[in-house]
Structures are given as structure tokens and as C-alpha cells.
Structure 1
Amino acid sequence: MLYKVVYMNNNDSECLEAGKSGADGAKKLTSLRGYFQHRLAENHRIHLPATFKEALLNRGVNRLVIIQEPECLVVYPEDEWQKKEEEFKKLNLENKKVRMYLRKLYSTLEDVELDVAGRFVLSDKFIKAMKLGNQVVLLGLINFFEIWHPDRYRWKQEDWEQEFDGNREFVSGLLEKRELDEEEG
């Protein structure tokens, strides 16, 4: 079931559905972005930030795909994961390295459904593997988000800050190359 968010104005009448604007043609929020520190409930339930819920609602998504990586959990909205799977289908499954990669990837993967309040439950497997306690960090990265142990996130953040300028130049170069390729093609 897809949840619905409705904003109320001062006299308690329905005003706007999440993601819609009073101005015609205004863009809806569809990106998952931002840093959020959240409490993990005893039953391992995570309540998504309001902006994440709004973005998922605007995309028509109520299922997530969670993948365990070495340092964090990566969470894809179902629509983004389907795009990745379409790319995987183009790979040569006869190639041993491709199969090994996909085996490992899919062995860590779990599908979860959002409840009407925009919450989902992390499995014991993920809690133990990531050594998660009662706090987690959610980091939105445009089309997906990550779930981090707060201590590990702070430790990695120091590395990221030291490498930021070099990484910014690298990303700028990629964007410029893509722009040139699009102009030529």
C-alpha cells in the first residue's frame, strides 16, 4: 500500500498533497538528499525523514532494496533498483566474474516494504553485520541513500573531507566530458 501525505492549512482543510505545489508546473521533490541522524527502534524499525518520504511518494515507490556493502547499507528505491537490474541483464552471465559479483550482491540483498508512516524494518542480518546500535545515520545521495553506524560515518567523514577537493575536480571532469560527448553525439 502506498502511503499518502496531505498537508493541512490553518483552518484544518486539505491544502496540498505531498510534492505538489500551488504553482502550476512546479517540480516535485524526487531526490533523496541530506544527512539525518535517526534513532533505531527496538524492533529495528527506521522512520524515514520527511523529505525522503515525500520523494518516494512522488516517485510512486513504497518498496526498497537494501544491499550490504563493507562500510554501510545501500538502500535503493524499487524504481532505481529496477534500472540497475536492466543493466545487469545486459551483462554476459556466462562470464565467471559477472556471476560471482551478482551472487555476492544478491546474497546480501533484501526487499522491504514501507508502511503507511514511511517506516521499514532492518533485518537482524543487517543489524549484526553493521554492528548497529540505537542510532543510525541516513545519507541521501540523489537516487539512493545509505545507512551508516554513526561512529563509522564520523571516522569516514574525516577521509572524505581530506579528499574532497580532488574528488570535486574528478567529478567536474566527468561532467565536462559527458557534456562534450552529448554535444558531439
Structure 2
Amino acid sequence: MFRGINPINLDAKGRMAMPMRYREHIATTCEGRMVATIDTDSRCLLMYTQPEWDVIQSKIEQLSSFNPVTRRIQRLLIGHATDLELDGNGRLLLPATLREYACLEKKIVLLGQGKKFEIWSEDQWLQTRDAYLDEGQDDGVIPEELQSLSL
């Protein structure tokens, strides 16, 4: 499971060093193979292990292409999906098209989300995080599926 917030610097070639605490898990579960794609709602990237992505892509492909919303999701998620592989130094090269979409420059944030990571520009993440924190204080309405959760 991937969790936590990890500040990372991209090098001049667009490579990010995967934090050490994730490397062994990635090496054993998918031999260092990952897939990155765009988030359809936020200017960030989603990154999955190859086996996890294969399940998601299969589900996306099963959706009807006649529905304009599902077709949009298929085009965006699968169309932007890019295979990545950890190099010998534990780095992943993020392609320029994905870096441009997510406005990734030198300082980025790797956000663990259980079965996937989100990759944000540091500035975008700080703005988004603050908006989420402020948003949660407005209406106090808790979705029904969360009401039985005890923290």
C-alpha cells in the first residue's frame, strides 16, 4: 500500500527518484514496471503498478464507447497511459507530455493513495490541499458511505 506525502525533485531530464520505502515493493510486485496517466479532474498524474493498471484498463475498456462521458474517460486515461520502468538508480522518467499536463517542474509531490500514487507539482498540490481543507469546513455533510466509518 502506498501512503504518505513525499516531496521530490525532478532532474533536468524529467526523472524522479522513487523514495526508498517503496522501491522493494515495486520491484517485487511488478519488477519495477509502472504506468502513469493523467487525472481527468485535476492537473496531476496517476501512477499505478503495471498489474494494478492492467485491471483498471480492462474495466475501462469494457465501458460502452457510445456513451460520450465514458468515451472521454477512455480516451484520456488509456490514451495518456505511459509505461514507466525503474532504472538501476530507482528513478522513473516522466515523459514530457505528462509533465506538461501536470505542470511538473523541479519540485513535485508524490502522494500515496493506497493502490496508486498521485504526482503533483508542489505549487499545485499546496493550493489543492488548502482548498480541500477549507472545503471540508463549509457544509458539514458527510456522504452516507462514510457515516459508518470510525477513525
- The TM-score with structure 1 as length reference comes to 0.68
* Pairwise CA distance, 1:39: 0.9
List runs of 5+ in structure 2 lacking aligned partners: none
The count of aligned residue pairs is 146
Deviations 1:89-110 (A, max 9, x none): 4323454543332122222221
Give the 3-state SS of the residue equivalent to 1:65 in structure 2: strand
The correspondence of residues 13-28 of structure 1 with structure 2, limited to 5 A, is none
Partners of 1:80 and 1:35 in 2: CA distance:
21
The verdict on how the C-alpha distance between 1:157 and 1:142 changes in structure 2, with shifts beyond 3 A counting, is: same
The verdict on how the C-alpha distance between 1:92 and 1:132 changes in structure 2, with shifts beyond 3 A counting, is: closer
List runs of 5+ in structure 1 lacking aligned partners: 1-30, 177-185
Structure 2 counterpart of 1:59, one-letter code: T
Match for 2:131 among 159, 164, 177? 159
Match for 2:76 among 98, 104, 109? 104
The verdict on how the C-alpha distance between 1:73 and 1:168 changes in structure 2, with shifts beyond 3 A counting, is: farther
Partners of 1:109 and 1:67 in 2: CA distance:
4
Partners of 2:66 and 2:148 in 1: CA distance:
31
RMSD after superposition = 2.5
Deviations 1:122-176 (A, max 9, x none): 1111222222221111100010001111111111111221244779943523759
The match for 1:132 is: 104
Partners of 1:46 and 1:136 in 2: CA distance:
9
Partners of 1:61 and 1:106 in 2: CA distance:
22
Partners of 1:124 and 1:174 in 2: CA distance:
43
Structure 1 position 47 matched with structure 2 position 17: yes
Partners of 1:58 and 1:168 in 2: CA distance:
41
Partners of 2:74 and 2:148 in 1: CA distance:
27
* Pairwise CA distance, 1:114: 1.2
The match for 2:26 is: 56
Partners of 2:140 and 2:121 in 1: CA distance:
23
The structure that has the greater radius of gyration is: 1
The match for 1:80 is: 52
